[in-house]
Chains A and B, each alone.
Chain A
Amino acid sequence: MSAQSASRKSGSSLAALSSRPWIWSWTAAALAFSATLWLTSGRGAGELAYAALSFGAFAAIVGLGQMLVITLGPGNIDLSVPATMTLAATLALRAMGTEPGTAFYGLAIALATGLGVGMANYALIFLLRLPPIIATLAASLIYQSIAIWSNRGLRIKPPEGLADFSTGRFLHIPNVAWIALGLAILLWILLERMTWGRWLLATGQNLRAARLAGVPVEAVRAATYITVALFASLAGFLLASFSGGAALNMGAEYLLMSIAVVVIGGCSVAGGDSNVPGVWGAALFMFLVVSMLNSYGTGAGVRLVLTGSIIIAIVIAASTRRSKQ
């Protein structure tokens, strides 16, 4: 009797678990991780996990920012993420000029750049009434051009202390992963436990209803567009410090990446539903799946087809579960 109820209970908790959209990205990440280790018969597990946490951290930071914007509802997206990363990193690294002890000064420059970009994006959307997809794409050409003009593509090294910090670890976890984890927890509290998060979700679910209910809709939108730019500039700053300097094409792969991790992470593309742990799982998965396919020696064509198919499969799995809820 008691055994029966226990099994029923575990069955229902399994069902409850599988109904959580974030479980799918974590399952996929775990599968990709195991598949790679199966090939090496378990060798290099720590090494792979460490690399996944390091590189997943950058995708997680930009993904979390993009998640907030997508949560704002249909049509909301920030396509200037790559250009913002490049611009913030270029300006910050140039300002620091490899001088030791300038890390916080550089960080301030990067975040100030993010703040400026976020305000400019929102100004275009609000004042000129441009659709966000057009506004941020057009503005990103300007940001990229400023980055080119400001430094003509010269790769300036980060100060040594900053480079050591961004490639370093604390308690066996990469420092950059700690930062991304901290931001994730902060966002989770904001979204789940604070009024501001509730306002954001309400705005995303129904803008008109939210406005009628007294939510300061435009303030929420402004704050969100500024936050995504701040996250992108922080990711750019860390990535440039991590990889030995800012390059003009450093943000390129983070456009699709930032959107993919949001979708795979189980957030609703239609907005109004965000999922912080799912984004982290998806960020790890995006690194691990490429590593897995590389380790199995698949060619570039097959790899892209498989990556695409796996992403579609996860999105379908996560969204059918949600609709059954």
Chain B
Amino acid sequence: MTKFLLGVAAIALVAGAAQAEDTSGKRIALSNNYAGNSWRQAMLQSWEEVATKAVADGVVAAADAYTTSENQATEQAAQIQNMILQGYDAIVMNSASPTALNGAVKEACDAGITVVSFDGVVTEPCAWRIAVDFQQMGREQVDYLATRIPDGGNLLEIRGLAGVFVDDEISAGIHDGVAKHDQFKIVGSVHGDWAQDVAQKAVAGILPSLPEIVGVVTQGGDGYGAAQAFKAAGRDMPLIVLGNRQDEMQWWSDAHAESGYETMSLSIAPGVASLAFWVAQQILSGEEVPKDLTVPFLTVTQDTLAEALATTPAGSVANVSYGMEDAKEVIASSK
């Protein structure tokens, strides 16, 4: 028995040594620029779950979330300055702009604060970036369409919010994919602002002028609206790539049961916030972490649809929560 206890102590000691520095006294803040959609709400919930548990377990002293009300870079810069004054050890941020916050981020770095940006990343070199390969997200959609519709045809592209970096990236990937699979042609492009009702309206407006559409390439949060518009216009339902929202997946599941409709769905999991939390914790513990990390996106296929639907709350978005081990894995794979 004593031997066993000693063994446990030894393991604990080894584990402690592997973790160069204790982070139980460290305080981490989340600086978030927007909360007004279901993806961001799921993201904040992921953060809350992971952070509450980490604080209760004594991994960190505090992990507070702050959201600006107006989605403005200036407002978020002021928020970061407050965090510097409040003496946080690390700031995890989803940024309103890739460049406009660089000044505030630099100030934080100069004050000795670790800054980790995710989803909306910043270009300031002193900060860490957990980015998604959005171009790849666009290319993969067209690759998938090519496997399903080898003969090709006309595509409708639904874009996000004009002027936002993510929109340009995904769209560039889609156009890249269409250049590779030249049996496809984009015959129409509308901005759906990542919102179902806006996408529905834009698609309803352009549909009368479009020839037959075989596929719709999207950016997430717009697939269900597009489907509604096609239905209202009495057109054949094209292959619409979806974005992991529960209503989209429910619609897909119903359509599959009814007519064997098959598609794919992909998006970043809002749980990327929990990954960013653990990356920040790893940096604080003294771990060597490369500045640029890539997080895989979450893909739902016909085979995983039932499971994804079962684990996604009604009206929310498919999610995964990352733990410390996942963070270590992502860090190791980027080294």
Contact = CB atoms under 8 A, between A and B. Distances in A.
B59 interface: no
Contacts, number: 127
A249 B247 CA distance: 16
Contact of A245 (B40, B41, B193, B315): B315
Output the residue of A243, A250, A252, A253 with the most chain B CB within 10 A. A243
B170 to A, nearest CB: 14
Contact of B195 (A55, A156, A247, A291): A247
A40 B278 CA distance: 54
Contacts of B42: 153
Contacts of A144: 36
Contacts of A245: 196, 247, 315
A153 B40 contact: yes
B209 A36 contact: yes
Interface string B158-199: 010011000000000000000000000000111101011110
B197 A153 contact: no
B314 A44 contact: no
Nearest to A298: B189
Contact of B204 (A55, A155, A239, A252): A55
A294 B316 CA distance: 30
B260 interface: no
A244 B40 CA distance: 19
Contact of B41 (A39, A148, A297, A304): A148
Contacts of B201: 55, 287
B315 A48 contact: no
B94 to A, nearest CB: 15
Interface string A172-186: 000000000000000
Contacts of A156: 314-315
Given A154-B315, A156-B314, A294-B202, A40 B197 contact: no
Interface residues of A, number: 43
A47 B159 CA distance: 23
Contacts of A232: none
A240 to B, nearest CB: 8
Interface in A47-103: 47-48, 51-52, 54-55
B245 A249 contact: no
A294 B190 contact: yes
Interface of B: 35-38, 40-42, 45, 69, 159, 162-163, 188-191, 193, 195-198, 200-202, 204-210, 224-225, 228, 232-233, 245-247, 313-316
- Sorted nearest first, the 9 A-B pairs with minimum C-beta distance are A44-B208, A291-B205, A153-B41, A154-B315, A300-B162, A155-B315, A295-B209, A243-B197, A51-B204
